[in-house]
Structure formats: structure tokens, C-alpha cells
A and B are shown apart, each in its own frame.
Chain A
Amino acid sequence: MTTLLIILPLAAAVVIWVLPLNRVSAGSLALLAALAEVGIWIQMLARFDFGRGGLQFSQHRSWFSDLHVSYHVGVYAFSVWLVGLTVVVMAACIAYAFWAGREKARAYFGLMLFLDAAIVGVFTAQDLLLFYAFFEAMMIPLYVLVGVWGGPGRIGATLKFVIYTMAGSLLMLASVIVYGLSKNTFDLTQIGTSGSTWIFLGFAAAFAIKAPLFPFHGWLPDAYRESSPEVSAVLSGVVSKAAVYGFLRIGVAKFPGPTHDLRPLILALAAAGLVYGSLLAFRAPDFRGVVAYSSLAQMGLITFGVFAVNDLGLTGSVLQMVNHGLISTTLFLLAGMVERRTTTGELGRLGGMARGRPVLATVLMTTGIIALAVPLSSAFAGEFLILAGVFQRGWGWAVVGAAAMVLAAMYMLRLISAVLHRDPGPAVTDAALDLRPAELGVTAPLIACLLALSAWPAAISGHSFPRNVAAVDVACGFQKLPPSNVHFYCR
């Protein structure tokens, strides 16, 4: 089933590339494949045994036996949710792209499906080299998607993006090889922990750039602004989660020693990113800028949770990854919808869009208030767990986080007002219609997911790590460590 999740979009991509389909049939085939992914995932979720925990739906084939590299995929309880996030977000983005109509449709949808497969691969790979392969396979379509279908500044954005991520990837490749060869296996379930700070830093560099963490976010503003909205949505919604997943699955789990030693540094970077991103989001001049920098802030928050390395922090960060994935996808798609109507995302030229556009106003308002983590929303539940977790590592971190909650309120309300309220801005004409049914059809399921999670955040936070084993143990090496070790490394 896991393999099916990877193969299906790949096969669909190949079909789209090979067959001379026209725009409509290429788009509908892609959408069909993306929806089928969602269906398969729901099956997987229904059949997943949360009581048991551990690796499920796993498949194992030897690949290079002399190097002990294998094709090994499977899902843990927490990765089920991330796979779910991926397939849902990809379906929404493909649907939006289909509706908005992208040029060179066959190439475009093929790449999107390829990306879908690669991201699912990242979340399910249980072999280090396979993980690396999927991680890189995820980047290639993104380079093309940003560089070919982006806005006017797309070449510069792509160049930066490539340089940054390549630098990270090479460091990670070195770490993968050294780590795997030294342990004589690449299988993540057997590889055991390592105490090497250098290997850890190689992985951390790749993940910190990809997430991104402050100050490795130089590629972020341009990439998020210049891509087409659905590609920005994928970038900030799921690709960034792949990096945090890496921190969780490899960084924290395989390197308890370095995690412990470097925790103050990483938490400090996360805190800096949280405040810095929030402040820049507060002054960003355009819709996407606000969402981009708020993503930076949110990645800092999620990193907080991961590196708190305790039950509260880890469960909270898994929940918040899903929340933020859904939120930023919706916001980027909404940014695209607003830009379509007004030809600009500049907040100074927008305004007054609520009058006469009740659907747009309701959708943007709902997403915005969930994004600013109003209590009772799922984002609040995630933030609350994360900060409660990091509070136990030092109350100062939680104070920074609490201050960032206030800043989040400031920048999201600024965004909402600037788009919806006051008198109509110069770019807002009567020709700017309310959301079309198709656009509502793309955003409504995402918001419905968020509302459902708001009613029951424990659906994820209570089903991310096996019930009877503390999340700490799980995260500190998915094979059992002696209890004393756990205590020494992770407390």
C-alpha cells in the first residue's frame, strides 16, 4: 500500500508525459490520480493500528546488497499524518492549477505528480539512501516548476533556491555515506544511533535550509513570491515539512547526543526565526510576503517542538506540521485567487474586498483566524502543546513563543484588514468577482479539515506516537534504547 502511494502518481506522471494528451485530459488525469492518492491514504488511515504503533505497511526489497542498501518503505503513526497532509495538499494544488490553467499542461502536471510521489517517498522511506534519493527527487521538479512557471523574477529565485538547497544536499549526502558505511547498513530501522556531531551537522544543514530555519532562509522570500501560487503552497505546505520530518526522524532519533549538546543553539535559532519571521511578516508589503515570513516563523515554532524532545513538544509539532501545511496552502491559494482578480498582491493597493464578496471574505477570515492560532483552533492546540513542551526545557523559550502568538495576531489581522476591510483599494474593481464555485471547491475541503481538527486536535496529537510508549522513547531511536540512555540523552 505504501508502495502504491508512491507508484501511482509516478505512473500517472509517465502516462501524462508519454501520451499526447490535451490540456483538459492531462489535468483531469492528474487530478484523478491525486484524488486516488487521497482515497488510498484514507484506506491506509482506516487500517492503521494506532494501538500497536511501530512501523506498519512496510515493504522491504534488497537493492544493493553489498552496500546494505534496500528499498524499504513503511509508515509510523506520525508519518501517516504527514503523508495525509501531502496527498491532500497536492490534490488541492493540482486541482487549483487545473482550474487556473497552466501552460505546457502535460509537462506541468507530470512534474506535479512526480513531486507528489517524491514527497510521499520522503515521508515513508526507511532506508537512508532511499530517503536521500527521494529528498533529491523532490527538489528537481521544484526547480523546474519555480523556474519555468514562475513570475517575472523566477530565474533569480530559482538560482538562489538551487544554490541553497544544493549546498545542503551535498552536506547531507556526505553525512549519509559516512553514517551508512560506518554502521554497515543504511536501513533506518537498524542503523542505531550515532554520537558524531559532524554527521549530525551535515543532516541538520540540509534540513535547516529546506525548512528553512533562520538564518538559512535567503531563498525563501523570492521563491515563495515568484512561484505560481500552488507551487508556493506546496513549498511551504509540505516540502518544508519534509525537512522538519528529517529533523524528527533522523536528527533527533538517530543523534541523541548531538541533539542534546546542540539543543540550546537550535532552540535559539528557532526562537530567532519565530520572532524575526513574525516581525518581518508584520511589515511585509504584499500578501505572499506575509504568508512567506509567517511560514518562517511557524517553522521556528515547529522546530521548537521537535527539539523540546518530550511528549508534549513532539506530538505538538506533528499536529502543528499538519495545521501549518493546510493553513499555508490555503493562504497561498487565496493569495493566488486575489492576485488573479486584482493583478497585484501589494497590500497598499488592495482593500475593501469583503463588500460584495461574502464567500471570499468568509474563507479568508476563517483561514486567517485559524492561522493566528485563536484558541479553540487546531493551530492553537498545536502551539499550545509545543510551547508547553518547550516550557519544560526552559521557561524563556515559551515566553518567546507566547510573545510570538501576540505578533501572529498582529500580522494576520493586518493582512485580513488590508485585503478585506476599509475602502476598496486602487487595484480592486467591480470586475474582481467573488470566489468561483471551483475555487471554493479547492479551498473548502482544506478549511473543512482545519475545522475538523479544531474540533478534535487529539485525532493527531493523540495518535502520533504509540499510546503505551512515551513519545520520547520513540523519538530517541525507534529501536529500544536502555531507559537510562533515554533519560541521559533526552531529558
Chain B
Amino acid sequence: MITGAWICLLSPLVAAILVTLAGTRLSRRGAAYLSTASCFAAFGGALTSFVGLLGEHEHERHHLSTAWTWIQGGSYRSGFAVLVDPLSVMMMLIVSGVGALIVAYSIGYMDGDSEERRYFAYMSLFVFSMLLLVQGGNLILLLAGWGMVGLSSYLLIGFWHERPSAVAAAKKAFVMNAIGDATMALALFLLIQKTGTLSFGALNAAHGSWVVNLVALGLLGGAVAKSAQLPLHTWLPDAMEGPTPVSALIHAATMVTAGVYLIVRTHVIFEAAPKVQDVAAGLGTATLLLAGLIALAQVDIKRVIAYSTMSQIGYMFLGAGLGAYANGMFHLMTHAFFKALLFMAAGIVIHALGGEQDMRKMGGLAERMPRVRLAFFIASLALVGIFPFAGFFSKDSILAAAMNHGTYGYILWVAGLAGTFLTGLYTFRMFFLVFGGEQSAFVREHFHALKRDVVGVSMGATVAVLTVLSLIGGWIQWAPLWHPVETWLAAVAEPLVSPTNWDEAISSVLALALGLSGIGVAWLLYGARRVAVPHVPFWQRTLERKFYFDELYDALFYTPSVFVANAFASWIERPLILGSSREIGEETRDLGGVFARLQTGLLRTYALAIASSLAVLAIVFVAVK
């Protein structure tokens, strides 16, 4: 079981190192196969851990395996340790399973790219980083995985590094994540000061209201940055600059779900700081609404899906913030299935259209690629949460949990329901724009179907697997009837809220109705085109500009820091620090000039000087005696 966990963690790393070191000695396809195999090996390792845990009693499912002392300073030390418990195993399965499918899909998607090896090295590194994050046996390893995930996303978003937009997006993602890393690091410093250790067990010992609140806030800062929640969300849509499977990996298997995992993992701290919990839930809700609105006005297919991720992670934050940990984690799992599917189906569309992502140029693809349409349709229904697809089972329980949190909970509940309507609307706007209607001129000109070679098979087969998962994946847990996920996680994170069957039923019915009406409106506007799309320039502009967050941050942070840097350079560094030494140099030279004038070279001057000095000395000696 422990061995399985180590295999799970290390095999992608080994693949990344091998691909890097082998260079051109390994063929491109070879690198792709090696990377894929390593991810499947990781999944195998995760499975053995899972089976191992299954065979144990509920309260024994906690294993910490420390390989060596990773970091040490005085009495503080943290080991390089992996943790095997129900939560980490669940994440391992999701990360390595969905990750392996996405890497396998990349074999086809990236075929023919001139830097495939680099791509697969990065992908393996990404999977390793995320596994380190979820398996790390203490908070500093969690933070290490956290930072490595940020790094891998930087590398992959900027994979096409000749594109200035890709480079800028990659840097933005990294810096935004670095802000989250920094606040998390501060929280850890506080923990070290108060408890002297960073093991997960020490979280219980962090008493004192302000300490707990500050630690929780610091952790929340990291979670918000990594999961692209308000106010550190602006990097996520730009991250679409990377290849499409990268987007799938970031959105489905790795990275953005890390924030939810963090909250569940450190729930003890958050429970001791209920105000911060409320903030988390509130931020999640605000994000889910905001992202849903922005998604309505986007024309890039990948960006729409990106905003839908933000919105769905908002639901997970809502659940985790309310203490409905199992519901949040369950939604994380189903979301991984259907979001990976959406991206990969969209990737096939983009691939077939020669890299075009603008939905306005698409249309009528239903005739050309019926099976992709079917996969996309299932994924869309799962995203909206329509019975019996995956999202239905997980999203509605989160909403039901919100009904058990007083007035604040009801506000969040209403907002969450409104989000369901928005989800239906923007998802099916996308669906109808891409697949509905007549074939556009662009499609007729540029469409080319996938061949039935390795490329087609790798892309088709993985999409098929995910389609099945999106179909049946939700049935694992149906809140009022059976709830294995909740039982499985109960040993790690006991839920704080227990919605009644009535809450579940009401939420389900309302969410279903609102989701369907959202789909209906989308059909009227974009499918059947019975109603003209309302035209409100102000709102359109605001949504297209994403509520002006980028502009705001530019004005608040980037411009001032550039200004300060320039001010330092031109007002302090050059005149005072570099200039001062020049002045010292000149002064010295001047002084030297003065003394040089004494060196006249005339014997009589020197004789006079010597004589007068002697006289002075003599007088001094006489006087002192």
C-alpha cells in the first residue's frame, strides 16, 4: 500500500527526468508513450493504495511514510513523507486516473509538434507536482507541491513560447500563484512559531483565535490563487494559451482543484475560524456567479469552458466552506470527468478546424462529427447538472448543504441556484454555436476529419472513456439514498452539516428546473434562434472586459511597481548610490592634487619642511617634559 503510494508519486517524476535527459535519443513517440505509461503506473499505484485501505478498519486508514528528513532548522524538522488516507487516496485516483487519460489523449493531439518531448516531460512533471501536493505528508510538502504545480502550469501555459501572449499568460499565472504561495508561507511561519511543527496533526494544537484566523486566512489566500477564485482569478482564462490537453489537465485533474483539497485537508483550522470559512463560501459563491456571467459573453470556446471551471470550483468552495466536505470532494471528482471530457471534445473540434477557437466561425459541426457532438452533449448535461448525468448528483447536494447554514446559507443557496440557470445558459449557448445550425463557411473550408491511426485512436478512445465516466460517474453517491463518498471521507473530515432529505429534494428539483430553463433559453436564443439575442452594449462590454479586473490590477499593482522600480533607479540608484562613489572618487583625486602640489621637487622646500617639522617636534618635546 505504501509502496503503491510511492510508485504513484515517483513514476511521473522519473518519466519527466528520463525524457529530459534522453533528449533526442528518445523518439518523440517514445517520449509520449513513456510519459503516458508513467501516468498509468501512477494510477496503478493509487489503485493498490485504495485497495489496501479498503481492507482496513475505518479508523486505521492513516499511514505516514517518511523517507528522509527533508528540511530541518534547529528543533523544527519536516520529513519527505507521503500520507495515505482516504482523502489523499481519493485525490490520487482522480489526479493519476484523469491525468493519465489526458496524457494519453495528448499522444494524438500533440502529434507532429516539433517539441513533443519537452511537452511530455512537462506533463509528467505536472502530474508529479499535483501528486506531491495531494500526497505530501506535512504542510511544507503540500506547499512544495503547491509551488511545483504553479511552476508546471507556467511551463505548459507558455509551451508555445514564441507567442508573446502565451509567455505573458504563463508569467501572469505564475505570479498570481506566487502571491498565493506567499500568503500560505506566512501562515506556515505562524504555525511554526506557535506549534514548532508543520505536521497535519499539529493543526489541532493551533489555538488562540487570532492565530487560527490568520493561519486560515493565509491558507485561504493560497487556495484562492490556485483555484482561480475571486480576487486572484484573472490568470485562469489567459491560461488557455497553452495546448488544449494542458487546459484539460489544469482544469480537471490538477491545479485548480487544489484549493478545495487544501480546505478539506486543513479543515480543522477552518472550523476553528468560522468567519474565514464564511469568507471562503462567500468568495466561492461570488465567483460562481461572476464567472457564469462572464462566460455568457465569451466567443472563444476554451474560454467559455475555462469560466465554467471557475464557476464549478466556486460550487466546491461553497461546499467546502460550509463544511460539506464530502459533497465538495464528490463534485470535484465528477467535475474532473466531465470537464476533462468537455476540453478534450473541444480539443478534437479545434484540431479538426486547424486550431480555430472562435465559436463565431463554427457551427453545424453536428453533421461532420456526430460522435464528438454526443460526447460534448453528455458533458454539457453533466455540467449543467441534469439527471442522470454526473453533475446532478454532486452539485445539488452542495446546494442542499447551503440550506443548513442560517440566513447566510440561504443567500448562498439562492445565488447557487441562480448559478445553475447561468450554467445551463452559457453551456448550451456554446453547444448550439458550435454544433447547431448550418455549417459555416469556415467549417466547410477548413474541416478535416481525424484519421483512424494512433492519433485518432488516442483521442477517440480517451474521450469515449470519459464519456462513460460522465454518464455513470455520478451514481456512486446519491445523497439521500446512498453515500459511500461521505462514509469514505468521514474519518478524515467529518461533515459539519447534514441536510435532510427534504433539503436534498427541494434543491434537486429547483436546480433541475433552473438548469433546464437555462438550456431552454439558450435554445431559443442560439439553437432555434426564435428570439433575437438581447443587445445591451454596456453589459456586453463589461462582460467582455471581464468586469475590468485586469485593468484594475494593472492600475493597482503592476503600474505602481514599475513606477517605484523606475523611481528607485532614476532618483536613488543613479544619483545617490552610483553618483556618490563618483563624487568620492573625484574628491579623492582633488585631495591628491592638493598634496601633489606640495611635491615641488625643490630641495629647499623639502629642507624647509624638514627643519620646521623638527623645530615643532622639539618644541613639543620640551613643552611636554
Interface residues of chain A, those whose CB is within 8 Å of chain B, are 159-160, 163-164, 215, 217-219, 221-222, 276, 279-280, 282-283, 310-312, 315-316, 352, 354-355, 358, 362, 365, 369, 374-376, 380-381, 384-385, 387-389, 391-392, 395, 398-399, 402-403, 405-407, 409-410, 413-414, 417, 420-423, 455-458, 461-462, 465, 470-471
Kindly list chain B residues whose C-beta atoms are within 8 Å of the C-beta of A369.
151
Question: B272 near A: Cβ within 8 Å?
Answer: no
Contact status A358-B118, CB under 8 Å: yes
**Which chain B residues in 135-173 approach chain A with CB under 8 Å?**
140, 143-148, 150-151, 154-155, 158, 161-164, 167, 170-171
Q: List 27 A-B contacts (CB under 8 A).
A: A160-B585, A163-B584, A163-B588, A218-B578, A279-B565, A280-B568, A282-B565, A283-B562, A311-B75, A311-B76, A316-B73, A354-B161, A358-B118, A362-B20, A374-B148, A375-B145, A376-B145, A376-B147, A384-B140, A392-B193, A406-B179, A410-B175, A413-B154, A417-B158, A417-B167, A422-B161, A458-B77
From DSSP, what is the main secondary structure of chain B's interface residues?
helix
How far, in angstroms, from A406 to B566 measured CA to CA in the complex?
18
Residue from B69, B118, B193, B578 within 8 A of A462 (CB atoms): B69
Residue from B146, B154, B569 within 8 A of A375 (CB atoms): B146
Residue from B72, B193, B561, B569 within 8 A of A391 (CB atoms): B193
How far, in angstroms, from A92 to B174 measured CA to CA in the complex?
31
How far, in angstroms, from A422 to B163 measured CA to CA in the complex?
6
Kindly list chain A residues whose C-beta atoms are within 8 Å of the C-beta of B161.
354-355, 417, 420-422
Contact status B164-A413, CB under 8 Å: no
How far apart are B31's CB and chain A's nearest CB, in angstroms?
13
How far, in angstroms, from A455 to B161 measured CA to CA in the complex?
29
How far, in angstroms, from A395 to B183 measured CA to CA in the complex?
12
Contact status A283-B132, CB under 8 Å: no
How far, in angstroms, from A389 to B171 measured CA to CA in the complex?
29
Contact status A387-B565, CB under 8 Å: no
Known A160-B585, A163-B588, A406-B175; further 8 A-B contacts with Cβ < 8 A? A160-B581, A218-B578, A282-B565, A312-B74, A380-B144, A384-B71, A391-B192, A399-B186
Contact status A375-B162, CB under 8 Å: no
How far apart are B514's CB and chain A's nearest CB, in angstroms?
40
How far apart are A361's CB and chain B's nearest CB, in angstroms?
9
Kindly list chain A residues whose C-beta atoms are within 8 Å of the C-beta of B606.
none
Contact status A355-B162, CB under 8 Å: yes
How far, in angstroms, from A422 to B183 measured CA to CA in the complex?
31
Kindly list chain B residues whose C-beta atoms are within 8 Å of the C-beta of A312.
73-74, 76, 192
Number of A-B contacts (CB under 8 A): 169
Contact status A219-B71, CB under 8 Å: no
How far apart are A426's CB and chain B's nearest CB, in angstroms?
16
How far apart are A359's CB and chain B's nearest CB, in angstroms?
8
Contact status B561-A218, CB under 8 Å: no
Kindly list chain A residues whose C-beta atoms are within 8 Å of the C-beta of B188.
384, 388
Kindly report which residue of chain B lies nearest to residue A282, judged by CB atoms. Answer: B565
Contact status B569-A409, CB under 8 Å: no
Question: B189 near A: Cβ within 8 Å?
Answer: yes
Q: How many residues of B contact A (CB 8 A)?
A: 66
Interface residues of chain B, those whose CB is within 8 Å of chain A, are 20, 23, 68-77, 80, 118, 132, 140, 143-148, 150-151, 154-155, 158, 161-164, 167, 170-171, 174-175, 178-179, 181-183, 185-186, 188-190, 192-193, 561-562, 564-566, 568-569, 572-573, 576-578, 580-582, 584-585, 588
Contact status B162-A421, CB under 8 Å: yes
Kindly report which residue of chain B lies nearest to residue A414, judged by CB atoms. Answer: B171
How far apart are A354's CB and chain B's nearest CB, in angstroms?
6
Contact status A461-B71, CB under 8 Å: yes
Kindly list chain B residues whose C-beta atoms are within 8 Å of the C-beta of A395.
186, 189-190
How far apart are B134's CB and chain A's nearest CB, in angstroms?
14
How far, in angstroms, from A13 to B492 measured CA to CA in the complex?
65
Kindly report which residue of chain A lies nearest to residue B76, judged by CB atoms. Answer: A312
How far apart are B135's CB and chain A's nearest CB, in angstroms?
13
How far apart are B86's CB and chain A's nearest CB, in angstroms?
25
Contact status B69-A470, CB under 8 Å: no
Contact status B73-A385, CB under 8 Å: yes
How far, in angstroms, from A457 to B144 measured CA to CA in the complex?
13
